[in-house]
Amino acid sequence: MKFISWNVNGLRACMQKGFIDFVNSQSADFVCVQETKMHESQAEVPLENYNKYFCSAEKKGYSGTAVFTPHTPLSVTYNGMNIDEHSHEGRMITVEMENFYLVNVYTPNAKDGLLRIDYRMQWETDLRKYLMELDKTKPVIYCGDLNVAHNEIDLKNPKTNRGNAGFSDEERGKISELLNSGFTDSFRYLHPDETGRYSWWSYRSNARKNNAGWRIDYFIVSDRIKEKITRADILSDVYGSDHCPVVLEIDI
């Protein structure tokens, strides 16, 4: 099966920059998007033969996730952690299929100066518990903009960004904790030493042109299905957002 994850930084804007043509060209089983910045009623997403599931923030024009798939899930759950403080920003969709759970997430940003780091840490703790609970029943495919570069290899300028949002010791420690709890970073599983592969670039200072980026978009899977991964890729030649799509292909 083929999965795509993409922080589109505004789905309506991205649709004007080739989103629909891109999705139609990929023939993916699941397309997970983050930062939709819209409610389903605000725009038609003209993807024929796709079921469309939206989880929107209460605040207009903010956050939001969506999943598009030609398949019919057994169930779809929104804000699945069932914790009130995590249920207002449209950050999670869980899709249950016969053989796995797909969890699409837009992780809260710790913000400049780590102003939101306490909330971010609580989110990470609660999410890890949620994923581990799902994993007791079926393997999990967890994807999205996780707003963290795990290791120095995952961003262009680790030394100058050490301690900043997205590369703080606290955030990096939480993704390590998750991976040590029975999960695998699919890209690093297939490409353990590959450098210069990023999924997000600032709009400032010609960052994308200079490939001064960060790998903060992931597919993370249950350890017991990691050997089924056949492709984990970053489509850095696809434009339309400050992020690019990432891809997982897995025999599941």
Report pLDDT for 49: 93
Angle between the 169-179 and 117-135 helix axes, to the nearest 10 degrees?
Answer: 0
Overall average pLDDT of the 38-42 stretch: 94
Q: Which residues contact 95 (CB under 8 A, 6 or more apart)?
A: 30, 53, 67, 69, 73, 75, 76, 101, 102, 103, 104
Active-site amino acid positions: 106, 145
CA distances from 66 to 9, 71, 96, 145 (A): 12, 15, 14, 13
Report pLDDT for 183: 98
Q: 3-class SS at 172?
A: helix
Q: Residue 70 is encoded by which pair of tokens?
A: 């030609």
Report pLDDT for 125: 98
Which tens digit of pLDDT belongs to each residue from 53-110? 999 999 999 999 999 999 999 999 999 999 999 999 999 999 999 999 999 999 999 9
Report pLDDT for 218: 98
In the predicted model, what is the mean pLDDT of the chain? 97
Which tens digit of pLDDT belongs to each residue from 153-200? 999 999 999 999 999 999 999 999 999 999 999 999 999 999 999 999
Is 200 within 8 Å of 187 (Cβ atoms)? no
Report pLDDT for 193: 97
Overall average pLDDT of the 37-63 stretch: 96
Report pLDDT for 163: 97
Report pLDDT for 244: 98
Which tens digit of pLDDT belongs to each residue from 224-237? 999 999 999 999 99
Confidence of residue 17 (pLDDT cuts 50, 70, 90): very high
CA dihedral over 218, 219, 223, 229, signed as positive or negative = negative
Report pLDDT for 35: 98
Which tens digit of pLDDT belongs to each residue from 18-37? 999 999 999 999 999 999 99
